[in-house]
A and B are shown apart, each in its own frame.
Chain A
């Protein structure tokens, strides 16, 4: 099992993510105590599948229901919609059903990533290179 050791390089709560990104919580208010292990920003489902490991925070400008489905399948800890984008109610309901907290922030992707990075949140590694390991 040495190849698959879990590494926790940094710890951040979802509540801290909300503060740092000045985000509005769309659903999952009761899950803000959850740990975020790493972060991945993308607008492609296929990239999410490869890079999102358990407890990864996803930053995206896509607001369709497939983002939530993918986040659920990949065990993401939450999804942040950037640039003030808000998904439909049906997407938010889906987040509630699957226990995926959803946030929206006025800040664009680069700003979000920068804010989280300087607060010691790191990005993910490609799944096929090494499983469940954050950089």
Chain B
């Protein structure tokens, strides 16, 4: 999948700045976006998926990035969660996607984070996921959740 697949015209855009070790922004942004999505009347499964993606993605930036941005684009078809950070980057994305793999410090782990489940959880909750990372420069993550399921008889319409 290429990044081009995730391009579309956004109708609602939410933006949060994430500083290094700013762990509060993950919970705050997930909470605020959740409220917005509830006001839009979206299905609770969609809301939960997006909240998990935002929480994990923002936490990854706070833990591993020097600083970065979290952006959420909502259109009639899908929700795109995007993080863009300047930081260490990910040397081996395939390895980082494995459940339990973590490079987080002991300090971070003591807080209940850095369990090596972040990217795995994002992957589990996303319909499309694209990660572009350069070691020593930073990481861009795009995770998309569709508002309607493509399988027959399993939509989110009610």
Contact = CB atoms under 8 A, between A and B. Distances in A.
B30 A45 contact: no
Contacts of A43: 112
B132 interface: no
B121 interface: yes
B52 A69 contact: no
A131 B44 contact: yes
Contacts of B124: 50, 128
Nearest to B30: A73
Contact of B111 (A66, A73, A131): A66
B148 to A, nearest CB: 14
A45 B31 contact: no
Interface string B33-63: 0100000000011001001100110010000
B45 A69 contact: no
A64 B59 CA distance: 15
B112 A66 contact: yes
B112 A127 contact: no
A46 B121 contact: yes
A118 interface: no
A66 B27 contact: yes
Interface string A93-129: 0000000000000000000000000000000000110
- Most chain-B Cβ atoms within 10 A of its Cβ — which of A46, A47, A70? A46
B23 interface: yes
Nearest to B157: A1
B44 to A, nearest CB: 7
B27 A62 contact: no
Nearest to B45: A131
Contacts of A49: 51-52, 55-56, 121
B113 A73 contact: no
A73 B117 contact: no
A107 to B, nearest CB: 20
B112 A64 contact: yes
A107 B111 CA distance: 21
Contact of A47 (B45, B59, B111, B117): B117
22 contacts: A1-B158, A4-B45, A44-B115, A45-B55, A46-B56, A46-B115, A46-B121, A54-B44, A62-B111, A64-B112, A65-B24, A66-B23, A66-B27, A69-B24, A69-B31, A70-B27, A73-B27, A73-B55, A74-B48, A127-B52, A131-B48, A132-B44
6 nearest A-B pairs in the assembled complex, by CB-CB distance: A69-B27, A46-B117, A45-B112, A44-B115, A128-B124, A49-B52
